[in-house]
Amino acid sequence: MKSHKRLLLGNKAWVDEKVRIDPNYFKSQIQGQQPEFLWIGCSDSRVPAEDITGTEPGELFVHRNIANMVIHTDFNLLSVLTYAVNVLQVKHIIVCGHYGCGGVASALSNNSFGLINKWLRHIKDIYRFYQQELDEIADVEARNKRMVELNVIEQIHNLAETTIVQKSWHKHQRPVLHGWVYELDSGMIKPLTQMSPGSKIEDIYMYEFDKPEPG
Ligand code: CO
């Protein structure tokens, strides 16, 4: 059987199972979505957001990219974030990295990956920021693991530094930001860091919303 046909058969089996348990399952899906969570994860095929969190369709609003990055000029991420915060009014945003992340390992190497260099460049910048701590870790695997953690922590700060999150914190006291890391070899998620509305962020990234904005 052609491999893509296996996916269509899998879809049919999934539909049959859902309808068997609840004949109205798909009718309820078209009512709309009210997810409480925005999930920002890695595109890695081994880290499927719903499976590893035991969640169902409708529970997670999901954005995935290489190495679960929050880049402040990425219109894809910013559009997802805006919709999640302002329209869906999610209560939580989770950035979930994972050990064994190819994107993070590649960024720590000197290999060239063409266009992807530009994406991974942001991870190299984080390395430079924590170079002393990272260079003291002799074991390559241990260093990569720490880099995965630091990357998640930095992405949480990147979220808090957006005007989207800052405005929502200011007006609505949501969402809470969570930085997690997933272990491929155990399947377990480890919480690393959390930022609640009103958390201190570096002064230089704070915006004043009371003054009129140009344009
Ligand atoms: Co990855």
For ion ligand 1, residues whose CB falls within 5 Å: 42, 44, 101, 103
CA of 160 from ligand 1 middle (Å) equals 22
Span 123-177, pLDDT tens digits? 999 999 999 999 999 999 999 999 999 999 999 999 999 999 999 999 999 999 9
Question: pTM above 0.75?
Answer: yes
Task: Determine the pLDDT at residue 210.
Answer: 80
CA of 118 from ligand 1 middle (Å) equals 16
Q: What angle do CA 149, 152, 153 make, to 5 degrees?
A: 85
- Mean pLDDT value of segment 21-39: 94
Q: Which fold has domain 33-205?
A: Beta-carbonic Anhydrase; Chain A (3.40.1050)
For 1-5, 21-25, 60-64, which range has the lowest pLDDT when averaged over its residues?
Answer: 1-5
CA of 203 from ligand 1 middle (Å) equals 31
Task: Determine the pLDDT at residue 212.
Answer: 80
- Catalytic residue status for 46: yes
The length of the chain is 215
215: pLDDT strictly greater than 80: no
199: pLDDT strictly greater than 90: yes
CA of 26 from ligand 1 middle (Å) equals 32
| Joined tokens for residue 34 | 């009210």
Q: How far is CA 59 from CA 47, 56, 62, 207, in A?
A: 17, 6, 9, 31
CA of 184 from ligand 1 middle (Å) equals 10
Q: Which of 42, 96, 143, 178 is catalytic?
A: 42
Task: Determine the pLDDT at residue 211.
Answer: 80
- Work out the mean pLDDT of the chain and round it to a whole number: 96
214: pLDDT strictly greater than 90: no
At 202, the pLDDT band (50, 70, 90 cuts) reads very high
**For the chain, what is the total number of helices (H) and then of strands (E)?**
9, 5
Task: Determine the pLDDT at residue 213.
Answer: 79
- Catalytic residue status for 98: yes
Residue 171 identity (one-letter amino acid): K
Task: Determine the pLDDT at residue 107.
Answer: 97
Question: Cβ–Cβ contacts within 10 Å for residue 12, how many?
Answer: 10
Residue 20 makes CB contacts below 8 A (sequence gap 6+) with: none
Q: Which of 44, 96, 122, 178 is catalytic?
A: 44
- Catalytic residue status for 203: no
Instruction: Note the Cα 66 to chain centre separation in Å.
Output: 10
- Mean pLDDT value of segment 183-202: 97
- Catalytic residue status for 96: no
Q: Which of 6, 16, 22, 46 is catalytic?
A: 46
CA of 148 from ligand 1 middle (Å) equals 9
What are the start-end ranges of the E strands in 7-155?
A: 37-42, 60-65, 92-98
At 83, the pLDDT band (50, 70, 90 cuts) reads very high
- Catalytic residue status for 92: no
Query: What does the domain layout of the chain look like in residue ranges?
Result: 1-31, 33-205
11: pLDDT strictly greater than 90: yes
Q: Name the percent of the chain lying above pLDDT 70.
A: 99
- Nearest in space to 37 (alpha carbons), one of 97, 96, 89, 98: 89
| Joined tokens for residue 195 | 């930022």
Longest distance between any two alpha carbons in the chain, whole Å: 63
- Mean pLDDT value of segment 195-204: 94
